[in-house]
Amino acid sequence: MGRLSVHKLSEWKAQGRRFAMVTAYDYPGARLAEQADIPILLVGDSVGSVVLGYDSTVPVTMDEMVHHTKPVVRATEKAIVVADLPFMSYQTDPADAMRNAGRLLKEGGATAVKLEGGSAMVETVRRMVDAGIPVMGHLGLTPQSINQFGGHKVQGKSPAAAVKLISDAKALEDAGAFAIVLETIPAELAKCVSERLTVPTIGIGAGAGCDAQVQVLHDMLGIYDDWRQLKHTKRYRTLGSEMRDALRQYREEVENGDFPTEENSIHVDRKLAREFAHSS
Ligand code: KIV
């Protein structure tokens, strides 16, 4: 059967078919997402915040992205795997951008790359697409620019910012991007952008008017139920507390001798057991 083609997504949009994308950073997460029939997995540079313990996505390196892309690809057969180009792997010069995007496909096995930014990125996107690298755009609150924004602030709130975002989205589509993530912008603006494009918009904190949605796996599963509660996240489960309870129970059972039981033990026959007992 093979992986879904990135071109299918525009067909889905034309048919009014909505779809979900979720982040994945390792084999188990990707396997579960594929079993749930999620058609696009994003190896997001959010790996820096939710898996590697950095305080933002800024420190994430190319080697880390390649490392996390590989198991996601190994765990899946059907899903499109999109890998993020991390901060400063594509903004410096076009040759670097091409080399690094190529690494995510050649070494990581990704289907496509994602990069942040609008008109400034148009030439880079065009070159990648011309070279056979499918590109997903990302506009609005682009986390790699967190220091420039001065925090996680809603973007596109003024008429001028909205006009710029709409023209950036159009420019990315014209350059060949196959989809565009819209992050933390007013729902009204996201709807306008979605209506003006033929490629799908994938929203996170951008309302229901987008063609698709993306969530960060650890946030939607509630792994950090004691920490990250973001307005744009729906916590479908609170697995953090379930995992913590399981670990606590395991520790207690080891401490008080309730684990392992006979069921968890392997035995030899009596004769061999006697030999074991008498061996010096
Ligand atoms: O890295 C990431 O998880 C992302 C999503 C928030 C879209 O870019």
Q: What is the pTM of this model?
A: 0.96
82 membership: H or E segment, kind and range: strand 80-84
Amino acid at 250: Y
pLDDT score at 225: 85
Nearest CA to 81 out of 17, 5, 138 is that of: 5
255 pLDDT band, cuts 50/70/90, is very high
pLDDT score at 151: 86
214 pLDDT band, cuts 50/70/90, is very high
Residue that the structure tokens 């003006």 belong to:
196
Say how many C-beta atoms besides its own lie within 10 A of residue 7's C-beta: 11
Contacts for 251 with CB less than 8 Å, ≥ 6 apart: none
pLDDT score at 34: 98
| Ramachandran angles phi, psi of 64, nearest 5° | -65, -40
The sign of the CA dihedral 251, 49, 205, 133 is negative
Tokens standing for residue 278: 């008498």
Cβ burial 23-43 (10 Å sphere, 16+ → b, else e):
bbbbeebbbebbeeebbbbbb
Measured between alpha carbons, how far is 102 from 125 in angstroms, rounded to an integer?
A: 13
Ligand 1 atom nearest to CA at 57: 1
Ligand 1 atom nearest to CA at 45: 1
Question: Taking the domain 8-237, which CATH number applies?
Answer: 3.20.20.60
pLDDT greater than 90 at residue 231 = no
Contacts for 275 with CB less than 8 Å, ≥ 6 apart: none
DSSP state of 120: G
Mean pLDDT of the chain: 96
pLDDT score at 227: 82
pLDDT greater than 80 at residue 77 = yes
C-alpha 130 – ligand 1 centre gap (Å): 25
pLDDT greater than 90 at residue 274 = yes
183 is catalytic: yes
Tokens standing for residue 150: 């001065």
Q: Where in the chain is the domain with CATH 3.20.20.60?
A: 8-237
Q: Pick the catalytic residue from 183, 195, 242, 262.
A: 183
210 pLDDT band, cuts 50/70/90, is very high
Point out which residues pair with 137 in neighbouring strands: 180
C-alpha 69 – ligand 1 centre gap (Å): 14
Terminal-residue alpha carbon distance, the chain: 59
pLDDT score at 160: 97
Tell me the average pLDDT across 178-200. 98
Pocket-forming residues, ligand 1, beta carbon under 6 Å: 23, 42, 44-46, 84, 138, 181, 183, 204, 214, 216
- With H, G, I as helix, E, B as strand and everything else as coil, classify residue 215: strand
pLDDT greater than 80 at residue 280 = no
* Cα dist from 205 to 40, 148, 208, 237, whole Å: 18, 20, 9, 19
pLDDT greater than 90 at residue 228 = no
